[in-house]
């Protein structure tokens, strides 16, 4: 909940044209004003002042790291640069996000995401109705968000998290699955042997970091097709999470990090997520770790669903992970269900642990010879 201060531009001025607004879109801007003090209140003062009064310049809300100022009621503003009868100017709510250097930009963006979610709900609009100023006029605005890797996708993901707060799967905490359970799940999904073999290392680093190993193991299943790979990353890169190099140029093998050993690749995977949630890395982190650390949301991510728009531009990434991978792992029986026991002793007793182990070994052997 962020405070919204209503401080309207006086009627009758050129920057308050007064056409009724029936919002169909929301347009996002950055103020492009990095001066100290150029916060929401300062922009409200500017819009009400004499220099703006004769200019066709106005918008609906300015958001900084602490508060939101509303400058117009449900009337149009001149902010989209698409003409006097343009859809952007006449059918969208304009929101400016502050860039003042004495403000916390990440907090301002978070507040803006909250405001956008409220407006979408209020006016019954879907997320695809949120547009960049750039969409209407081609201007490089919102320039901060546009200038950042996955910036727009990340902003939309933040909006989405307010619309859909019920879906929350923690990235941190104690494991809710055992290694053997994860390995059984991997087997059932025709995992490559290397993926099954690496599972204990995931649980090891889970214990060291406090991140949930089954979550990262599920993510690796997704990123490497259960260790079968097949994309740009090759198995010898030991890169279980398709982590990029510091400055990738494309989507070739060399654009992805190479780790010295499979175990080191797991450490890199955990370190990468550590940057998302704000945990200290284990040992020396890989170069891309610093890129994540420089993101405004670094250290704030708590839930798998929040990876969407951050790990990749796909907003559904985290939800997909939970739905298509993690939930399968968690629902896999802790011990494998086996066919009829080798020796039918006629009793209803479940097979003993040693029998289960025997069956597991037998299946491993079968896989080796297949």
| Pairwise CA distance, residues 321 & 305, whole Å | 8
Question: In this chain, which stretch among 56-64, 113-121, 129-137, 352-360 interacts with Zn ion, using CB under 5 A?
Answer: 129-137
Would you call 264 exposed, middle or buried from its count of C-beta atoms within 10 A (0-12, 13-18, 19+)?
middle
Identified binder of Zn ion from the candidate list 141, 145, 233, 275, rule CB under 5 A: 141
Least spacing, CB of residue 131 vs Zn ion, in Å = 11
- In the complex with Zn ion, the residue whose CB is nearer, 29 or 286, is 29
The contact mask relative to Zn ion for 21-60 (x = CB under 5 A, - = no) is --------x-------------------------------
- Give per-residue burial for 252-263: e unless 16+ CB within 10 Å, then b: eeeebbbbeebe
- In the complex with Zn ion, the residue whose CB is nearer, 32 or 330, is 32
**Contact of 170 with 207, CB cutoff 8 Å:** no
> Which residue, among 291, 243, 290, 278, has the nearest Cα to 264 in the 3D structure?
243
- In the complex with Zn ion, the residue whose CB is nearer, 140 or 294, is 140
The contact mask relative to Zn ion for 181-220 (x = CB under 5 A, - = no) is ----------------------------------------
Which residue bears the tokens 């995992």?
A: 191
Which residue bears the tokens 């090759």?
A: 234
Least spacing, CB of residue 105 vs Zn ion, in Å = 16
Question: In this chain, which stretch among 126-134, 161-169, 213-221, 334-342 interacts with Zn ion, using CB under 5 A?
Answer: 126-134
- In the complex with Zn ion, the residue whose CB is nearer, 71 or 133, is 133
- In the complex with Zn ion, the residue whose CB is nearer, 57 or 232, is 57
Joined together, the tokens standing for residue 153 give 């996708």
Question: In this chain, which stretch among 3-11, 120-128, 131-139, 327-335 interacts with Zn ion, using CB under 5 A?
Answer: 131-139
Question: In this chain, which stretch among 70-78, 136-144, 190-198, 209-217 interacts with Zn ion, using CB under 5 A?
Answer: 136-144
Size of the site for Zn ion (CB under 5 A): 3
| Pairwise CA distance, residues 27 & 116, whole Å | 9
Alpha helices in 124-178 (DSSP H): 133-137, 143-146, 151-163
Q: Which residues contact 214 (CB under 8 A, 6 or more apart)?
A: 175, 176, 177, 182, 202, 206, 326, 329, 330
> Which residue, among 309, 306, 254, 260, has the nearest Cα to 286 in the 3D structure?
260
If one asks whether residue 63 binds Zn ion (CB under 5 A), the answer comes out as no
3-state secondary structure of 57: coil
> Which residue, among 120, 108, 107, has the nearest Cα to 159 in the 3D structure?
120
- In the complex with Zn ion, the residue whose CB is nearer, 96 or 306, is 96
If one asks whether residue 98 binds Zn ion (CB under 5 A), the answer comes out as no
Least spacing, CB of residue 15 vs Zn ion, in Å = 15
- In the complex with Zn ion, the residue whose CB is nearer, 40 or 191, is 40
- In the complex with Zn ion, the residue whose CB is nearer, 146 or 293, is 146
Least spacing, CB of residue 133 vs Zn ion, in Å = 3
Least spacing, CB of residue 139 vs Zn ion, in Å = 6
If one asks whether residue 133 binds Zn ion (CB under 5 A), the answer comes out as yes
Least spacing, CB of residue 11 vs Zn ion, in Å = 24
| Distances 269 to 180, 188, 264, 282, 288 between C-alpha atoms, Å | 20, 23, 9, 11, 11
3-state secondary structure of 89: helix
Least spacing, CB of residue 305 vs Zn ion, in Å = 29
Q: Which residues form the interface with Zn ion (CB under 5 A)?
A: 29, 133, 141
């Amino acid at each position: 909940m962020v405070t919204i201060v209503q401080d309207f531009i006086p009627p009758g001025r050129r920057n308050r044209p007064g056409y009724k607004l029936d919002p169909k879109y929301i347009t996002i801007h950055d103020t492009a004003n990095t001066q100290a003090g150029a916060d929401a209140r300062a922009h409200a003062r500017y819009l009400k002042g004499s220099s703006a009064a004769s200019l066709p310049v106005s918008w609906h809300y300015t958001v900084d790291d602490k508060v939101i100022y509303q400058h117009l009621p449900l009337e149009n503003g001149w902010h989209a640069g698409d003409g006097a009868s343009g859809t952007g100017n006449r059918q969208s709510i304009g929101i400016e996000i502050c860039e003042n250097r004495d403000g916390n930009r990440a907090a301002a963006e978070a507040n803006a995401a909250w405001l956008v979610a409220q407006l979408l709900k209020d006016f019954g609009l879907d997320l695809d109705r949120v547009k960049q100023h750039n969409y209407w006029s081609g201007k490089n605005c919102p320039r901060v968000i546009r200038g950042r890797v996955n910036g727009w996708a990340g902003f939309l993901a933040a909006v989405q998290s307010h619309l859909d707060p019920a879906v929350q799967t923690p990235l941190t905490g104690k494991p809710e699955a055992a290694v053997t359970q994860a390995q059984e799940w991997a087997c059932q999904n025709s995992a490559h042997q290397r993926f099954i073999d690496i599972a204990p290392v995931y649980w090891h680093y889970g214990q060291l970091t406090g991140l949930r190993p089954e979550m990262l193991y599920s993510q690796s299943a997704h990123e490497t097709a259960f260790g079968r790979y097949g994309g740009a990353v090759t198995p010898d890169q030991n890169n279980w999470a398709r982590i990029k190099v510091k400055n990738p140029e494309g989507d070739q093998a060399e654009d992805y990090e190479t780790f010295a050993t499979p175990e080191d690749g797991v450490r890199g995977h955990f370190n990468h997520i550590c940057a998302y949630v704000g945990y200290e890395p284990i040992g020396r982190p890989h170069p891309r770790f610093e890129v994540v650390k420089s993101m405004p949301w670094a250290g704030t991510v708590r839930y798998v669903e929040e990876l969407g728009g951050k790990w990749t531009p796909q907003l559904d990434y985290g939800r997909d992970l939970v739905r298509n991978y993690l939930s399968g792992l968690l629902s896999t029986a802790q011990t494998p269900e086996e066919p009829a026991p080798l020796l039918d002793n006629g009793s209803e007793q479940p097979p003993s642990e040693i029998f289960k182990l025997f069956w597991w070994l037998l299946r491993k052997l079968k896989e080796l010879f297949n």
